[in-house]
């Protein structure tokens, strides 16, 4: 029987971590306040890192911490102390990209499991085997790889392999980019990418400074480096049967709604495959779930073909989604059926909502009554993160998401 691959989810902050864990992740990856590549993703203080590890481990979920910047000399002074701290709180593995950081980890905390980040641009079996020889437990494959290349690496390498299956694609090579540095002074290879590839660009002719010419005729401009998002859900059989050990979702800077919905969709799909591999089919409900969260149009990236102009979005930089996240269950009284809800978007009486639970099927209900926290009737909860009570049609648990269908034409 084929080994079930790990489902690895992003955790940009504590709330996203809890959602990823509760909605079905086997492991989460996250960063501290330094030494990772998502400085703007919220991230975790030293105290929060320990809390995150304790919470995840209490739910049998592993925690991998990113230490995958390409450091300069000034970054190295405080790194040893940080590495020892991560070891002391029982982090399960560290993600590294730089050889110097890797060797520092090997020398200071030799018992720590080390994973080689996609930033290291691992695109061939020789590189993968070299990292294994140095002591790496796992290698994260570059996104710029085909299914056939991944299969060949699997046959030639006896080391854990991890690959991305969902989320944003990078216009540069596995995140190695200097656009952000050039335009804003923020070093993308040290955690401060400004995502300059998503900006709107125009042409300027040198003898006519200040005159901007559109690169293509479009009323909104042209986003020449704006890649579609990766989604391999429709091809999950090929992904699983390629033999990789960990399936990774991108998105530490994405929303709580994204963390919960994408994780649960892939959790259900992976489990369904292993219940009956011979008759596995990707269900429309899983694909629909991935449309409900904020995303760019989906593509398969490099998995089946070299990306072309069809894998870019030239007309806009906005996102699509079919549902709005309107509330989060904070508490539930089984005797009365009333839940305490934290507002996340305008919500009011009469609306039909979908109740999306960490486990079990979703259900729909109409909001027939709402109370403020003092017990007085209200007709709407318009204020950000306003707390209120409402009656639930069926039992829920904390961290259940309430969402409503997005109205056609709404932003």
> Is 186 in the same domain as 59?
no
Choice between 365 and 173, residue whose per-residue pLDDT is larger: 365
pLDDT at 51 over 70: yes
Establish if 51 belongs to a structural domain: yes
> Is 380 in the same domain as 271?
no
Contact between 137 and 199 under an 8 Å Cβ cutoff? The reply is no
Lowest pLDDT segment from 118-122, 201-205, 277-281, 382-386: 201-205
> Is 342 in the same domain as 266?
no
Please give the DSSP secondary-structure letter assigned to residue 310. Answer: G
pLDDT interval class at 43 (50, 70, 90): confident
> Is 193 in the same domain as 167?
no
> Is 77 in the same domain as 144?
yes
How far apart CA 121 and CA 123 sit, in angstroms, is 6
pLDDT interval class at 217 (50, 70, 90): very low
Instruction: Please compute the mean of the pLDDT values over residues 258-285 and round it to a whole number.
Output: 97
> Is 190 in the same domain as 159?
no
User: What pLDDT, on the 0 to 100 scale, is given for residue 177?
Assistant: 64
pLDDT at 385 over 80: yes
> Is 138 in the same domain as 190?
no
Domain limit, last residue, from 311, 332, 356:
311
What Å distances lie between residue 146 and 109, 124, 217, 239, 401, CA to CA? Answer: 35, 11, 33, 11, 36
Choice between 219 and 263, residue whose per-residue pLDDT is larger: 263
Instruction: Please compute the mean of the pLDDT values over residues 38-43 and round it to a whole number.
Output: 59
Q: Which residue has the tokens 């975790």?
A: 44
Instruction: Please compute the mean of the pLDDT values over residues 9-23 and round it to a whole number.
Output: 96
> Is 345 in the same domain as 396?
yes
pLDDT interval class at 96 (50, 70, 90): very high
How far apart CA 237 and CA 265 sit, in angstroms, is 15
pLDDT at 218 over 70: no
User: What pLDDT, on the 0 to 100 scale, is given for residue 153?
Assistant: 98
> Is 170 in the same domain as 294?
yes
User: What pLDDT, on the 0 to 100 scale, is given for residue 379?
Assistant: 96
How far apart CA 83 and CA 94 sit, in angstroms, is 9
User: What pLDDT, on the 0 to 100 scale, is given for residue 318?
Assistant: 57
Q: pTM of this prediction?
A: 0.86
How far apart CA 231 and CA 68 sit, in angstroms, is 24
Contact between 139 and 159 under an 8 Å Cβ cutoff? The reply is yes
- The mean predicted confidence, pLDDT, of the chain is 88
User: What pLDDT, on the 0 to 100 scale, is given for residue 130?
Assistant: 98
User: What pLDDT, on the 0 to 100 scale, is given for residue 150?
Assistant: 97
pLDDT interval class at 9 (50, 70, 90): very high
User: What pLDDT, on the 0 to 100 scale, is given for residue 8?
Assistant: 98
pLDDT interval class at 210 (50, 70, 90): confident
Establish if 411 belongs to a structural domain: no
Show the DSSP H helices in 225-379 as ranges. 236-241, 256-275, 284-292
User: What pLDDT, on the 0 to 100 scale, is given for residue 181?
Assistant: 67
Instruction: Please compute the mean of the pLDDT values over residues 253-272 and round it to a whole number.
Output: 95
Strands (DSSP E) found in 265-379: 298-299, 323-332, 338-343, 347-348, 352-356, 363-366, 370-372, 377-378
> Is 91 in the same domain as 134?
yes
pLDDT interval class at 144 (50, 70, 90): confident
User: What pLDDT, on the 0 to 100 scale, is given for residue 34?
Assistant: 78
Number of Cβ within 10 Å of residue 123's Cβ equals 18
User: What pLDDT, on the 0 to 100 scale, is given for residue 178?
Assistant: 62
Instruction: Please compute the mean of the pLDDT values over residues 54-58 and round it to a whole number.
Output: 98
Establish if 257 belongs to a structural domain: yes
Establish if 205 belongs to a structural domain: yes
What Å distances lie between residue 91 and 34, 49, 88, 96, CA to CA? Answer: 16, 9, 8, 14
Contact between 301 and 169 under an 8 Å Cβ cutoff? The reply is yes
Max mean pLDDT among 40-54, 58-72, 189-203, 210-224 falls in 58-72
Choice between 35 and 21, residue whose per-residue pLDDT is larger: 21
**From its phi and psi, is residue 101 left (phi > 0), alpha (psi between -120 and 50) or beta?**
alpha
What is the extent of the structural domain holding 198?
179-214
pLDDT at 246 over 60: yes
Domain limit, last residue, from 311, 333, 361:
311
Q: Which two structure tokens, joined as six digits, stand for 107?
A: 């020398």
pLDDT at 198 over 70: no
Lowest pLDDT segment from 83-97, 153-167, 239-253, 308-322: 308-322
Instruction: Please compute the mean of the pLDDT values over residues 87-109 and round it to a whole number.
Output: 97
Establish if 219 belongs to a structural domain: no
Residue 50: Cβ-neighbour burial (10 angstroms; 0-12, 13-18, 19+): middle
The string of DSSP codes covering 79-128 is HHHHHHHHHHTT-SEEEE--HHHHHHHHHH-TTS-EEE-GGG---SHHHH
Establish if 104 belongs to a structural domain: yes
Q: How many CA atoms lie within 13 A of 234 on its CB side?
A: 11
CATH code for position 67? 3.20.20.70
pLDDT interval class at 219 (50, 70, 90): very low
Establish if 70 belongs to a structural domain: yes
pLDDT at 127 over 70: yes
Give Cα 221 distance to the centre of its chain.
28
Lowest pLDDT segment from 87-91, 200-204, 241-245, 369-373: 200-204
Q: How many structural domains comprise the chain?
A: 3
User: What pLDDT, on the 0 to 100 scale, is given for residue 306?
Assistant: 76
CATH code for position 361? 2.40.30.10
> Is 131 in the same domain as 271?
yes
Counts for the chain of helices (H) and strands (E), in that order? 10, 22
What Å distances lie between residue 325 and 50, 257, 351, CA to CA? Answer: 29, 7, 13
> Is 242 in the same domain as 383?
no
Establish if 299 belongs to a structural domain: yes
Contact between 383 and 347 under an 8 Å Cβ cutoff? The reply is no
Domain limit, last residue, from 311, 339, 357:
311
> Parallel, antiparallel, or unpaired for β 387-391 and 370-372?
antiparallel
């Amino acid at each position: 029987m084929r080994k079930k691959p790990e489902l690895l989810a992003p955790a940009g902050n504590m709330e996203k971590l809890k959602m990823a864990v509760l909605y079905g992740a086997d492991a989460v990856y996250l960063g501290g306040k330094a030494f990772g590549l998502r400085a703007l993703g919220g991230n975790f203080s030293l105290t929060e890192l320990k809390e995150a590890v304790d919470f995840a481990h209490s739910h049998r979920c592993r925690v991998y911490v990113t230490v995958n910047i390409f450091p300069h000399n000034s970054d190295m002074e405080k790194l040893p102390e940080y590495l020892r701290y991560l070891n002391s709180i029982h982090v399960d593995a560290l993600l590294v990209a730089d050889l110097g950081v890797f060797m520092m980890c090997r020398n200071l905390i030799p018992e720590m499991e080390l994973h080689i980040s996609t930033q290291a641009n691992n695109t061939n079996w020789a590189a993968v085997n070299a990292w294994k020889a140095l002591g790496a437990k796992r290698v994260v494959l570059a996104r710029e790889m085909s299914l056939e290349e991944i299969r060949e690496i699997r046959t030639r390498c006896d080391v854990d392999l991890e690959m991305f299956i969902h989320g944003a694609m990078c216009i540069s090579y596995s995140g190695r980019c200097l656009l952000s540095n050039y335009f804003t002074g923020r070093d993308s290879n040290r955690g401060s990418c400004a995502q300059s590839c998503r900006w709107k660009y125009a042409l300027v002719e040198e003898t006519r400074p200040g005159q901007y010419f559109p690169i293509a005729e479009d009323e909104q401009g042209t986003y020449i480096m704006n890649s579609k998002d990766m989604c391999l859900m429709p091809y999950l059989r090929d992904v699983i049967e390629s033999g990789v050990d960990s399936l990774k979702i991108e998105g530490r800077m994405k929303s709580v709604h994204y963390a919960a919905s994408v994780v649960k969709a892939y959790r259900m799909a992976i489990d369904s495959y292993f219940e009956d591999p011979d008759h596995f089919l990707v269900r429309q409900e899983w694909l629909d779930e991935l449309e409900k969260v904020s995303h760019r149009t989906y593509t398969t990236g490099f998995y089946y073909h070299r990306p072309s102009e069809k894998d870019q979005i030239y007309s806009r930089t906005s996102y699509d989604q079919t549902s709005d996240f309107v509330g989060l269950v904070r508490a539930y009284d089984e005797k009365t059926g009333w839940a305490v809800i934290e507002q996340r978007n305008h919500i009011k009486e009469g609306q039909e909502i979908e109740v999306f639970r960490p486990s079990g099927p979703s259900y729909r209900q109409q909001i027939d009554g709402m109370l403020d926290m003092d017990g007085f009737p209200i007709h709407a909860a318009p204020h950000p993160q306003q707390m209120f009570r409402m009656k639930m049609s069926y039992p829920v648990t904390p961290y259940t998401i309430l969402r409503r269908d997005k109205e056609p034409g709404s932003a």
